[in-house]
Amino acid sequence: MSDKVSRRQFAKLAGLSAAGIANPLEAAETKPAPAPRGMDSFPAGFVWGTATSSYQVEGAVDVDGRGASIWDKFVRIPGKIEDGTTGDRAVEHYHRYKEDIALIKELGCKAYRFSVAWPRVFPDGDGKPNPKGLDFYNRLVDELLRNGIEPWLTLYHWDLPQSLQDRFGGWRSTETCKIFGDYAGYVAERLTDRVKNVFTLNESGRFVQFGYGLGIDAPGVTLPQAEVNQVRHNSALAHGLAVQAVRAHGRRGTRVGPAENIDVCVPAIDTPEHVRAAEIALREMNAGYLNVIMTGRYTDAFLKYAGADAPKYTDAELKIISSPVDFLGLNIYAPQNYVVPSDQGAGFMPLPIPKSFPHMNSNWLRVAPETIYWVPKLAAKIWKTDAIYISENGTSGDDVVTPDGKIYDTDRIMYLRNYLAQLQRATAEGVPVRGYFLWSLLDNFEWVFGLNKRFGLYHVNFDTQVRTPKLSATFYRNVIAKNAAGA
């Protein structure tokens, strides 16, 4: 994929910009914040974890009855994957999960976020389940618990069964949404005796726009904006149906919520006027997914901007979409928009990102540690949530194996140290961030970049599958041990 289109830069692509928005954010009250703590540590009980996703790590795509996913087909289209690789083998987590869980334990992590591959459990998306597919996740969960690691399950991390794409057009149809609800209920009934936290869909903002709008991701189709907006609405409906299914079929006490790559809006400077502008922008730039999930309505500004391209929906669907959640998962990497106040339109104006803005070895991954301070702070106020988890944060790096066999990834340590310091600042001020999942445990198949971008704390030799801890693994282990960013 060209760096001209960034991995998580969606403001312009999502069809909603500041221009023409004329509905300022309504005053939003939030629950009283706890008394500020000292700045020296994270709160007691803070959840430290790491994360992966099924297609990126498991491999074994034709083992034990797994069906094909849209990514299995997409990676075989010439030119779609930067280095021509596939997830067929990935990092063999399906066979090496015990080894990888030992690495999680070595870090001191008490939580692991993984995703269930829908086509492992239902090869065709629906119909007859595949017992061997579910057996893998039973073994995975049991091994995590034996090692004192809490499993956090994601129901959907992009590997839609190809059969549903062929039969219904994937997320273009509400039939897929209903089937997803059935799948969610099946998984919840069988795993929530041990899994207490469930994410529904990962990064609707990415897989909708890039998969159905731009054709960059699987399934690689390019739809008119009206249909893209409808697909996004359907993904929100699928989220709501999954929440209801987890409530109906999961064990008592199971918690559920979304994990979204929120369209990040940061005040350019810390003044009341700039903060207010960023608050308005955060709500409106996320009006098509997170806001409707959290409030049960599309904002007037979103509907006005979309015009004839607005999604079609019923009041009953909005009620399902806004089924109450227990937490909000936010994937936060880089700012999409720095925002200043404006006396026109909605009261905010996004600024262009200068070409000289610092970034990691992925050009889209701009280094802006304040992002992870402002986003949860504003989100907690806008959507009145008292439980936020950073469901992804991390960076690719220019990882080099030195002659002594080690990887001194000081670039990643710099990134993590600064972001975690800002996150610690937020929790010290009472922002209700309850945990953090570092992306990623392992170098893996990084979607359209193939094996070219490495996000892991552990280096993987893709030929031998040998795992080697990077210096950042030691850094993160120290952070967890100290419960503080200053490691």
CB atoms closer than 10 angstroms to residue 347: 22
Partners of 267 in beta bridges: 339
The residues carrying an active-site annotation are 203, 392
Report which residue type is found at 116: V
> Tokens at residue 341, please?
């106040």
Calpha distance 347→338 (Å, rounded): 14
Helices 410-428 and 371-383: angle between axes, nearest 10 degrees: 40
Q: Evaluate whether 457 touches 476 at the Cβ level (below 8 Å).
A: yes
Distance CA 200, CA 107 (A): 26
Count CB atoms within 10 A of the CB of residue 101: 21
User: Which of 402, 211, 265, 285 has the alpha carbon at shortest distance from 23?
Assistant: 285
DSSP state of 32: P
Residue 369 burial (10 A CB sphere; 0-12, 13-18, 19+): middle
The one-letter amino acid at 193: D
> Are the CB atoms for 130 and 88 separated by under 8 Å?
no
